[in-house]
Amino acid sequence: MKVLSSESMPVRSSEDVVSVRQAVRKKAVALGFGLVDQTKFVTAASELARNTLDYGGGGLVQIELVENNMKSGLRLIFEDEGPGIPDIDLALKDGYTSGNGMGLGLGGAKRLSHEFEIDSKPGVGTKISIIRWK
C-alpha cells in the first residue's frame, strides 16, 4: 500500500473530535466518496476519536490518502497512550461498554470500514487503523 498524503491531528478535546469529523468528511469528498460512504466513514471516525478521548485520555489521529493497486481510499490511524483494552474480543461485541456509552463504538467502527486493525496493550495504549476504499 502506498501513502499519497498524510496529516496528523490531535484528539485532546471535544472540539478536536469535531475537527476530525470535518477533516475526514473533507478528504472523503475530495476523494469522490458518495454520500453514504462519507457518512459511514465519518461516523466511524467520530466513534474512534471519541473513544481516543474518553477512554485513551486523548491522542492523535493520522489521516492518510492511500492507494493499493488501482484502488484509492482513506486510512485513519488513532493512537493513544491510555490504559489499553484488556479484552479486545469482548470490546468488539455490540452492547459491551466499559463506560457510559451504548457499546457500539468499536464494533460499529469495524462494520463501517472496509479494513479494521486494532493493537492494544494494557498499560501501554491502543492503536486502531481503519480504511475505507473508494
Percent of the chain with pLDDT over 90: 81
Cα 32 from Cα 92, distance rounded (Å): 30
The pLDDT value given to residue 104? 59
Mean pLDDT within 29-48: 96
**CA-based radius of gyration for the chain:** 14
Query: Looking at residue 51, which CATH number applies to its domain?
Result: 3.30.565.10
DSSP 25: H
Q: What does the pLDDT look like over 58-99, one tens digit per residue? A: 999 999 999 998 899 999 999 999 999 988 988 888 766 666
The pLDDT value given to residue 103? 46
Cα 77 from Cα 32, distance rounded (Å): 21
**What is the reported pTM?**
0.93
**Which residues form the domain of 63?**
2-133
pLDDT at 128 over 80: yes
Tally of structural domains, the chain: 1
